[in-house]
Chain A
C-alpha cells in the first residue's frame, strides 16, 4: 500500500456519448500528503477536474466510465466504496468547494442551515452543529455571524459566498480539501483574500489542498507542487519553482509564455501629435431608485457613471480596468449608443455622438465597432459565419455592393487567421478562440477606426488569449486601429495598452501611461489592485523584463 494520504494511479476515465467514446483522462497519476498543496493546472478541456470528481464519486456513470487505475485514500480503495462508505468520506474526510459559490449554495436555504447540514449528516447533534456553524462563519471572517447565519446566499457578496462554502467544507476538519477553480468567478482583490484565507486555514488544520485551476497566478500563490494537464494527460509535474523556472515540456513553456504581463510594456510611439478620435467629457449616468406600484422615484439614485472623461487618439490602445460594479459596462454601453447618459458629451472627431438624429448617428457609429466577452453568446448560433460577417453590410446599406460580399468575407476571415472555407460553417463548429476571431472579423467588416473590446479575451484560455491579443496587435499595425480595451484584471492590459484608466464606483480614479500605472500607482485603489495580483506576477513586473 502507498504511504501517501491520497494517491491517484493510472486513472483513465471516458465518457460514452452519441458521437462516440471520449477519453476524458488517461494515465493520470499523482499524490497528495497532509499539509501540502498540489495544483492541477490546465486549460478548458484538459481534464483537470476529472480526477477530483472521480475521488468524490461525482462522475455520472453512465455515461462516464472509470476504465483503469486506482484511487487510494488513507489506504482505502476509493473506487469500490458502498454508498454508505462513500458518505463517510465525502464532506467528512475529503471536502470540496466549487467555482461558482452562488450556484453551489442552494438558493432556498439559509447559509446557516447549509453549514450545519454538512455536520448533521456526519452525526453532529443539531444544537452543537449550530453553535459550531456560527463559530465557523466567524472563523472565515463573515461579520455578525449570529445574524448572518439566518440569511440566504443571495444576500452575500461573491467573496463572502465562497467564504461560506469554505466554512461548510472545513466544518468536519477534513484531511483533504479539493478546491475546483475556487476564485475564478471573483474579482482580483477578492481572490487574493480568499487565497490568503485558504493558506491560513491550511496552516491551522494541516489539511492537504488540491487546487484545480486554469490560472497560473493562483498556482504560484498557493501551490507546493504542480501538475500541468493537457487533453486528458499529465504533461509535466514537479515542484512549483522547478516547473516555473525550468519547464521541461514545450507545452508548459508555451503556457508560461502565454500568461499576460510577462513581456514588459508595449512599445510606444510618441502619440502627442496624432489626432484625437474619441473624446468623452464629464459623462455621467444616474439610475433612479423606484418604489411602489407606480414606480415613483425615491430621490435616491445609483451613479453608474460619475463624471468620466477620457480621450482616445488614432492608433492608441486605452486599457480600462475595473472590478465588477465599477461602471465599465455602462461606459461601453454609452459609447455604443445602447444607453443614454444623464450628463456629459461624447465626441467622435469633434462631432457629437449623442444627438437624436438617427441617420447621422448611424453613420458615425459605423466607425466604432465592438467585440464582446462571450463569443458563444454574441454570435447567432443559427447564422452561418458568412451571414454573421456580412450582416453589418446588410444593415448599413451602400457600404459594400452585395456582389462583393463573398470575396470580402473571405478576405476578412484570412485577416483574422481563419480559412475562407470556414464561411459556410456555423459558430458551434468552432473553438472559443476561433469564435472570437469571427467576432473580430465582423467588427472589421465596416472598416472602423475604433474597436471596443469589452472583456474580449476574459473568457478565453491563456494560450488562446495570447493569440487573440497578438491578432489585435497585428490588426492595429495593418489598419491603424485604436482600441478601447476593457478588462477586469490588470495583467492583460499590461503588455497591450498604451495608457490605462482605472475605474472604481463609476469614476475614473487614475489615468496614465501603462508603465506609470504599474510602477508608480498613485491612487490607493490602483495600489490595492496591483497588490492583489498573485505573487509571481508582482515579482515579474518588478523584474521589468525587456520586451522581446
Chain B
C-alpha cells in the first residue's frame, strides 16, 4: 500500500505540473490586467510602472520561472486587487465549497442507493419506471436552469427561501439542490444497473441456495459488489462538483471557491486564479486517492492485483 501511495503521489505531482503550465499561460491569454485595473486614459509611464511592479514587463517565460520558484516556497503570489496573499483568499473560500459539496454528495448518494436498489428489486415495476423517469430527468436538466427556476419559484413567488448569502440553514437549501440533482440522477441509474447485475449473478444464486436470508443476500452479497462501480461514478461526480459550484455560488452569491474563481477571472487576477485552480486540483487528487483506497478495501482483487 505504501508503494501504491508513493506511486500515485508521483503521478499526481506530474499532472499538477502540467496543470500549472496550462493555467499560467491560459490565464495570460485573456489579456493585460493593466487594461482592467487602470483607467483608460492612464499615461503610458504609469502603465509601465504598474507592469514593472507586478513583473508583467518581463518575458512570459521569465515570469513563469519566477512563479515556479515562489511556488516551491508555497508562495502563490498576491492578489492584484488588494495585495492580499492569493492563498489566503482561496483558503477562506474553500471550506464553504467543501461543505456545500459534502452535503450535495451525501444527499445524492443516500437517495441514489435507496432508490436504485428498490428499483432494481422489481425491474420494470411501477417504482422502477417512475424512478427511472425522474432520475433521467434529473440527470438531464442543466444546473443553471434549476438555479434560476428555483430562485423564481421559492424566492420570488413563494418567498420562502433567501436568494443569496450564507447566514442561515435556509440559505443552503437552493445551492445544495442545484448541486445534488444532477449527480443524484446519474447515480440512481448506476446503482440500479449495478444492483441488477449483482442480483443476476451466480454468487447471489449460490447464497440463496445456501439458505441465506434475503436481507443478507441484498446487503451482504449484492450491495458490496454493486458498490464498486457506484464508488467510481460517485468519485467522478464529486470531482465534477466544482463545475456546479461555479454556477451555484455565482447565482446565489455564495462565498465559495467557485465564486472566487469567477471573480478572479473577471479581474484577470492571475495569482488568485492559479491558486484556486491548484488547490481544487490537489483536493481532487486527494479525493481520487481516497477512492482508490476505498476500492481496494472493498475489493480484494484490487488489493492483490
Interface residues of A (CB under 8 A from B): 56-58, 83, 86-92, 95-96, 98-100, 103-108, 110, 117-118, 121-122, 152, 154-155, 165, 168, 292-293
Contacts and interface: CB of A to CB of B under 8 A. Distances in A.
Contacts of A95: 209-210
A139 to B, nearest CB: 18
Nearest to B299: A108
B300 interface: yes
Given A154-B304, A293-B10, A293-B11, A105 B211 contact: no
A108 B223 CA distance: 11
Contacts of B216: 121
Contact of A117 (B7, B205, B210, B225): B210
Contacts of A98: 202, 205-206
B126 to A, nearest CB: 14
A220 B172 CA distance: 72
A398 to B, nearest CB: 47
Contacts of B298: 108
A106 B207 contact: yes
A281 to B, nearest CB: 37
A105 B225 CA distance: 12
A103 B214 contact: no
Contacts of A58: 205, 208-209
B221 interface: yes
Given A121-B210, A121-B216, A155-B304, 13 more contacts: A56-B209, A86-B211, A87-B212, A87-B213, A90-B211, A91-B210, A96-B206, A98-B202, A103-B201, A106-B225, A110-B300, A117-B210, A152-B301
Interface in B1-40: 7, 10-11
Interface of B: 7, 10-11, 201-203, 205-214, 216, 221, 224-225, 298-301, 304
B304 A92 contact: no
A57 B208 CA distance: 9
9 contacts: A56-B209, A90-B211, A95-B210, A105-B206, A106-B225, A118-B211, A121-B211, A165-B206, A292-B7
B175 to A, nearest CB: 37
Given A90-B209, A103-B203, A108 B304 contact: no
A42 B154 CA distance: 66
Contact of B212 (A57, A103, A121, A152): A121
A104 B304 contact: no
A89 B206 contact: no
A152 B225 CA distance: 14
Contacts of A110: 300
B304 A152 contact: yes
A277 B298 CA distance: 54
Contact of A83 (B203, B209, B214): B214
Nearest to B222: A106
A91 B211 contact: yes
A57 B205 CA distance: 10
Nearest to A55: B209
B210 A104 contact: no
Give 10 closest A-B pairs by Cβ, nearest first: A91-B211, A91-B210, A90-B211, A152-B300, A103-B202, A106-B203, A96-B209, A104-B202, A87-B211, A104-B206
